[in-house]
Amino acid sequence: MIRVAIIPGDGIGPEVMTGVIPLLDWSRARGRELEWVTFPYGADHFLNTGETLSDRHFADLRDTFDAILFGAVGDTRIPDGRHAEQLLLRLRQGLELHVNFRPCRPFLAIHIPLKDLQPDEIDIEVFRENTEGPYCLRGRTEEELAVDEAVHTARAIRILLATAFEQASGRACPLTLAQKANVLKHGHGLWIRIFKELCADYPSVAAETMHADALLCALVQNPRRFGVIAADNFIGDLTSDLLAGFQGGMGMAPSASWAPHRPFRCNALFEPVHGSAPDIAGTGKANPVGMILSTSLLFRHLGWEEEAARLHQAVGEVLRSGIATPDLAGSATCQEVQRAVAKVLG
């Protein structure tokens, strides 16, 4: 029995998550053995109890579930975002989810803001290291001085890069390492050293390193030439948002995080790339596609290839029929898109 923990979180998180339940029910009706438990962790829980995720609750997630479906986190009542740190970053770090996979495969030409590009000309996958760099949360502020440290370990880099090389070799596409070793000599110097070591293990992969700033410019000018992009946590964050822009915006982009070395029972987390968007929460304007595609990535992770593919296709069918939320210039609500996808699945 696969056990999934559902954490809807804050803002639009609960509304985009609501539409996931019928998808899980659908997989169950097809004979998949799946059960789930929904947890309240998020801003309300934090404000009521003073904690986001206790050690006991974290251990329960880690040891008694197989995967987590995550909505969004962030609330204007907690402006410094400390509850988010204790929740999302803690899960990523505590579960050693070093790999964050963010694919960019646009559905419709009208979603692509670049001219003369068809959806099948863009197939880019970002592999972002998910636990380190400036996200290690070591830093300090003194009166007129602020320091954020960025920590990079060879272990995490190797885990991330090995996964990216494996993917590029399977796809027979180029692999580009985004780095700024011209400035970040230590951290990104280590990334380049390990990248070169792995090049020797994957002679068939067309591997290159690029300065991240130049890479972003080249991505906008000629996205066709890219396949797999590997990056550290911070550059991967920026790159994946740029690529969300190629797919119709933040609401469209899914992500999957996992621990290829499987240190715990719970070794994967699926979340849309977008945030909690408090300004539109409860208005029905949230785009549920990123969350639905993240559920498709969960199915793929579980080895349920057919369910994953059918869910992905159902989203395409709904979008092609013109049913879309206002961020895609449509007039449907979040719920209407969710219902339309469930209906296509039957």
Which residues lie near ligand IPM (CB under 6 A)?
Answer: 84, 88, 237, 273, 275
b/e per residue, 259-298, with b = 16+ CB within 10 A? bbeeebebbbbbbbbbbbbbebbeeebbbbbbbbbbbbbb
Q: Which of 60, 123, 148, 241 is catalytic?
A: 241
Distance CA 15, CA 171 (A): 35
Q: Which does 275 bind (CB under 5 to 8 A by kind): ligand IPM, Mg ion, none?
A: ligand IPM
Q: Which residue is nearest to ligand IPM (CB)?
A: 237
Of 136, 112, 121, nearest to 248 (Cα)? 112
Q: Which of 10, 41, 135, 232 is catalytic?
A: 135
x-marked contacts with Mg ion along 257-286 as a string, rule CB under 5 A = ------------------------------
Q: Provide CB contacts within 8 A for 62, sequence distance 6+.
A: 94, 95, 264, 265, 266
Interface with Mg ion, residue 237, by CB under 5 A: yes
Q: How many residues in the shown chain lie near Mg ion by CB under 5 A?
A: 1
Distance CA 114, CA 116 (A): 7
Nearer to ligand IPM, 88 or 104 (CB): 88
Active-site annotation holds for 213: yes
Q: Which does 126 bind (CB under 5 to 8 A by kind): Mg ion, ligand IPM, none?
A: none
Q: For 294, what's the count of Cα atoms within 13 Å in the CB-facing half-sphere? A: 36
Q: Which does 22 bind (CB under 5 to 8 A by kind): ligand IPM, Mg ion, none?
A: none
Nearer to ligand IPM, 88 or 150 (CB): 88
Nearer to ligand IPM, 24 or 88 (CB): 88
Q: How far is the CB of 97 from ligand IPM (least distance, A)?
A: 11
Active-site annotation holds for 123: no
Q: Percent helix, strand, coil in the chain (nearest 5)?
A: 45, 20, 35
Active-site annotation holds for 120: no
Element (H, E) at 215: helix 212-221
Q: Which of 63, 213, 279, 343 is catalytic?
A: 213
Q: How far is the CB of 332 from ligand IPM (least distance, A)?
A: 25
Q: How far is the CB of 259 from ligand IPM (least distance, A)?
A: 16
Q: How far is the CB of 18 from ligand IPM (least distance, A)?
A: 21
Q: For 293, what's the count of Cα atoms within 13 Å in the CB-facing half-sphere? A: 28
Rounded to 5 degrees, φ, ψ at 164 are -70, -40
Nearer to ligand IPM, 126 or 314 (CB): 126
Q: How far is the CB of 240 from Mg ion (least distance, A)?
A: 6
Q: Provide CB contacts within 8 A for 265, sequence distance 6+.
A: 62, 63, 64, 65, 66
Nearer to ligand IPM, 275 or 278 (CB): 275
Q: How far is the CB of 84 from ligand IPM (least distance, A)?
A: 6
**Coil, strand or helix: which one is 321?**
coil
Strand-pairing partners, residue 2, are 34
- Catalytically active residues are 135, 180, 213, 237, 241
Residues that bind Mg ion (CB under 5 A): 237
